[in-house]
């Protein structure tokens, strides 16, 4: 899990985040992000395609092996 990178930045500061299986189920904002309540939490289905985009902030998530 890459919480060290996520903890140091507020949500929506990046446009692309790399996540691993330990981050599943994936939600945006992720619980480890500072200001985790920047928009309503939405769960993103990333398992099937390996990619997901948040409908609120447009952050893109890539599932790393």
Instruction: Give the percent of the chain with pLDDT over 90.
Output: 55
pLDDT in tens, 32-45: 787 666 789 999 99
Is this prediction's pTM over 0.85? Answer: no
What b/e string do you get for 15-48 counting C-beta neighbours within 10 Å, with b at 16 or more?
A: eebebeeebeebbbbbeebeebeeeeeeebebee
Vertex 63: Cα angle to 61 and 65 (nearest 5): 160
For residue 11, pLDDT over 70 is answered with no
């Amino acid at each position: 899990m890459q919480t060290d990178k996520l903890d140091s930045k507020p949500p929506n500061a990046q446009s692309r985040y790399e996540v691993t299986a330990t981050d599943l189920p994936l939600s945006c904002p992720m619980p480890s992000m500072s200001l985790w309540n920047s928009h309503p939490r939405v769960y993103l289905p990333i398992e099937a395609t390996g990619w997901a985009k948040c409908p609120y902030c447009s952050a893109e998530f890539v599932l790393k092996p």
